[in-house]
Amino acid sequence: MLTVILQNRDAEAGLAYTLAGLVPGAVEGLVSDVMVLDQGSRDQSRAVADAAGARFLEVWTLQQALAEARGSWVLFLQAGARPMGRWIEDVAEHMALRGGTARFTRSRLHRRNLFDRLLRRGSPLALGLLLPIATARAEARDETPEAFAARLSARRSLACELVPAGILKD
């Protein structure tokens, strides 16, 4: 089972987009729970998370969130990112057969332009981060999911792609 942890700040539309993309994973029994770690949103993010059945945490530490996770694996994403294609099968296969940390493959259809890639550094969560919950709990500090993802290297890339956060325009 997989716990999905979403980093969010004023990303109501992006949060809805991500949560909708996770529904097939819940239906298939892969996604056990979703947590939204909010960073001071002033929009309707809480209402979106509540409507989807996700836990919305306004006051949190990463260690606390991981302690409350129900899954044996955790997937960190930014609100607005969305797994594509056969993500359920690819993630389940990785969890069952490969193990270790992994990230999604960059979406070929949603690449940033060359100028943007050269001048702006992408988020460490741009490709998500999948890892066993035991590893996450052992490595976690008092930090954001983005800072956590920046510290950890992923040994593998999943075959499925991820639409990055920020593609949707409000």
Looking up residue 59, the CATH number of its domain turns out to be 3.90.550.10
Longest dimension (CA), the chain: 42
108 in any annotated domain: yes
Instruction: Quote the crossing angle between the two packed helices 45-52 and 12-27, to the nearest 10°.
Output: 10
170 in any annotated domain: no
- pLDDT means per 10 residues, the chain with 170 residues, are 95 94 96 96 95 94 95 96 94 94 83 62 83 96 90 86 75
pLDDT of res. 165: 86
Is this model's pTM higher than 0.75 or not?
yes
* Residue ranges making up the domain that contains 69: 2-163
121 in any annotated domain: yes
43 in any annotated domain: yes
Spatial distance between the Cα atoms of 27 and 51, rounded to a whole number of angstroms: 16
168 in any annotated domain: no
pLDDT of res. 117: 56
Give the total number of structural domains in the chain: 1
8 A C-beta contact, residue 40 and residue 73: no
39 in any annotated domain: yes
- Cβ atoms within 10 Å, residue 95: 20
169 in any annotated domain: no
Instruction: Give me the residue label for tokens 């992994």.
Output: 102
Edge to edge, what strands does the sheet with 73-78 contain?
55-57, 31-38, 2-8, 73-78, 129-132, 102-106, 156-163, 82-83
Three-state SS letters, 17-69:
HHHHHHHHHHHCCCEEEEEEEECCCCCCHHHHHHHHCCEEECCCCHHHHHHHC
152 in any annotated domain: yes
